[in-house]
Amino acid sequence: MRNGWDDEQLLGALGEAMRARQAVPSWFVEMGKNAYAWHNIDAELAQLTYDSQAETKEPAFVRSEAASIRALTFTSARLSLELEVGENSLIGQVIPPQAGTLETHTKDGLTTSRVDESGYFAVEPIPASPFRLRFQTAGGGVDVVTGWITL
């Protein structure tokens, strides 16, 4: 008997291997495959440098209307990404203002938004957490990515 496996054992082991694979949900496998989007990406990392929610610890009912909009800032050596979390969308600006594209990466993949000459962009709807944003200029001279963001 080669490998010491007779027909019954081999068939049984194959069944076990198939069941182990079938037990894994497809979203789990897809998430693993999508992670490859980060291969060979040497984008500059923008760190979270400001979070309005971290500053304001008092309960929601004492906050004014204006203060209830969450604002985040991500800073890299070259630029900052300023974000405001609206009801249905993320509004943001690249500082200093410049045009380019903004990729929103989630575990399910990525979507792309345009960044206009004034550096403004909008991501709608608000992406599922965690997500990360990557800003690139057309020539590829600027390539900045935030860490994973959980809202």
Partner 1 sequence: MRDDPTVVALVTRAAASDQGAWDEIVDRYAPLVWSICTGFRLSTHDVEDVAQNVWLLLVGQLGTLREPAALPGWLATTTRRECLRVVTAARRSERLGTELDEAAQFVADTVVDEEILAAERNAALRAAFAELPPRCQQLLSMLLSDPPRSYGTISTTLDIPIGSIGPQRARCLERMRKSSALLGLADVGVNFPGGDPGA
Q: List residues near partner 1 by CB under 8 A.
A: 2-5, 7, 9-11, 13-18, 20-21, 23-25, 28-29, 31-33, 35-36, 38-40, 107, 130, 148
| CA dist., res. 117 & res. 107, Å (int) | 29
- For partner 1, the closer of residues 39 and 57 by Cβ is 39
- For partner 1, the closer of residues 10 and 69 by Cβ is 10
Question: Cβ 39 to partner 1, closest distance in Å?
Answer: 5
- Strand 100-106 versus strand 90-95 pairing type: unpaired
- For partner 1, the closer of residues 40 and 88 by Cβ is 40
Can you tell me whether residue 72 is helix, strand or coil?
A: strand
| CA dist., res. 103 & res. 138, Å (int) | 13
- For partner 1, the closer of residues 18 and 95 by Cβ is 18
| CA dist., res. 65 & res. 87, Å (int) | 13
Question: Cβ 41 to partner 1, closest distance in Å?
Answer: 9
Phi, psi angles (nearest 5°) of residue 75: -125, 130
Question: Cβ 150 to partner 1, closest distance in Å?
Answer: 9
- For partner 1, the closer of residues 95 and 148 by Cβ is 148
Tokens representing residue 30 in the block: 């897809």
Peptide bond into 125 cis (omega under 30): yes
Stretch (H or E) spanning 102: strand 100-106
Question: Cβ 36 to partner 1, closest distance in Å?
Answer: 4
Question: Cβ 45 to partner 1, closest distance in Å?
Answer: 12
